[in-house]
Structure 1
Amino acid sequence: MGLVDDNKNKEKDAPQESDGEVGDSSFYTTDQDDDNDDERTLHLGPQRTLKEQLENDKDDESLRKWKEQLLGSVDISNIGETLDPEVKFLSVAIVSPERPDILLSIPEDGKPEGLWFTLKEGSHYRLKFSFQVGNNIVSGLRYTNTVWKSGLRVFSTKDMIGTFSPQQEPYTHEMPEETAPSGFIARGSYTAKSKFIDDDNKCHLEINYTFDIRKDWASKD
């Protein structure tokens, strides 16, 4: 997932293909390892429960109001004693104007079996995630995605999702529109790894999967 033609949120100086059938492709190789960024230690101060946060912020009116607005109608008495936020991803949809949404369930172990989905080359699409947040505020939730073809890393991206308070109803977050690469070289099978990480450097989900890019959408999708 996450194959874009523009240069936003990705490395520059991608190699250009000149073969007439290849067309525009966002794929490129890089020697940098984005996973190293996820391993860096972030010093954000001690974690606190919701009750402790509100108590400590009572003298800071602007911060208190921001948190109260973020929390909305959350019942602090039920969840405010838990330190770590719980983020559970329920599904991801591939949304394209060319076809009905492709709804993909996310296994708890983050390892979909076999081919997870197929993208049509050159298609415009968005990723829409559905997830639940419990226990505490999750701050700075972000999405990283790395794609390989034939053992070579051809794409990587990072996107900020945001900060969310705990609630029973699932959240939905739609990513910016992307364009699948096209051409003979772009078609084929890929492996990918997606992560959802917060400001405390906690990985709430890692998905390892395979997908195809073909001339058309798979009829079974």
Structure 2
Amino acid sequence: MAEDKTKVVVSALVLEFSGHDEVTLDLSTPDSLKKLSENPVQIKEGVLYSMKFVFRVHDKVVTALRYLEETKRQGILIDRSDSFMGSYAPNIEGQPDFEVTFEDQEAPTGARACGRYDVTSKFVDEEGNNHHKFQWAYEITNDW
């Protein structure tokens, strides 16, 4: 499959936890994307965590890149976020991938918070180009 050189290519989502090993989700292939919803990431209730995205930019400058996220629980929308990531020039040979880490968040707590959450993530620019979209899931649990 030929790679589209005009896109932002997101290769990984890294969940960094306070006091626990990080979890890296591979976003680089169709097969790895398919498995994300099937295998929810386990997150302990109340833990602090941050999300880091690793990506490359091909061919042209991407301006005003944003990360959009919708989170649903049992099919009901419970959260929607829109985070500005910045503008990026194309990666050149020998340049490492870009990494953007978002602010810490606290996982929900309490008996009602435990369970599965389904997330739709999307990367768009100021021109409305949808560069990368994927679905993944996490499960809030009492313990790791």
TM-score (norm 2): 0.86
Aligned twin of 1:212: 139
CA offset digits 1:63-87 (Å, max 9, x no partner): xxxxxxxxxxxxxxxxxxxxx8421
107 and 166 in structure 1: CA distance in 2 versus 1, 3 angstrom threshold = closer
Q: Which runs of 5+ in 1 are unaligned?
A: 1-83
1:117 matched to 2:41? The reply is yes
* Alignment correspondent of 2:14: 93
Inter-partner Cα distance in structure 2 for 1:130 and 1:179: 22
For structure 2, list consecutive stretches of 5 or more residues without a partner in the other structure: none
Deviating 4+ runs (over 3 angstroms): 107-111
| Aligned: 1:181 with 2:102 | no
| Partners of 2:10 and 2:28 within 8 A in 1 | no
1:210 deviation in Å?
2.1
Alpha-carbon distance in 2 for matches of 1:128, 1:209: 15
Q: Secondary structure at 1:167's aligned position in 2?
A: coil
What is the percentage of aligned positions where both structures have the same residue? 24
In the alignment, is the contact (CA less than 8 A) between 1:85 and 1:137 conserved in 2? no
What is aligned with 1:102?
23
Between structure 1 and structure 2, the one with the greater Rg is 1
1:167 to 91, 96, 99: 91
Give 1:154's match in structure 2, choosing from 78, 84, 90: 78
Residue 194 of structure 1 pairs with residue 118 of structure 2: no
Give the Cα–Cα distance (whole angstroms) in 1 for the partners of residues 17 and 73 of structure 2.
Answer: 23
Indicate the RMSD between aligned Cα atoms, in angstroms.
Answer: 1.5
Cα contact 2:37–2:118 (8 A) shared by 1:
no
Letter in 1 for 2:113: A
For 2:37 and 2:126, locate their aligned partners in 1 and report how far apart those are by CA, in whole Å.
Answer: 30
Deviates more, 1:193-202 or 1:93-102: 93-102
**Distance (Å, rounded) in 1 between the aligned partners of 2:50 and 2:37:** 22
Could you say which structure has the higher strand fraction? 2
Aligned residues: 134
Q: How does 1:49-88 map to 2 (within 5 A)?
A: 85-88=6-9
Which AA in structure 1 matches 2:63?
S
TM-score by length of 1: 0.57
Letter of the 1:192 counterpart? V
Matching residue of 1:134: 58
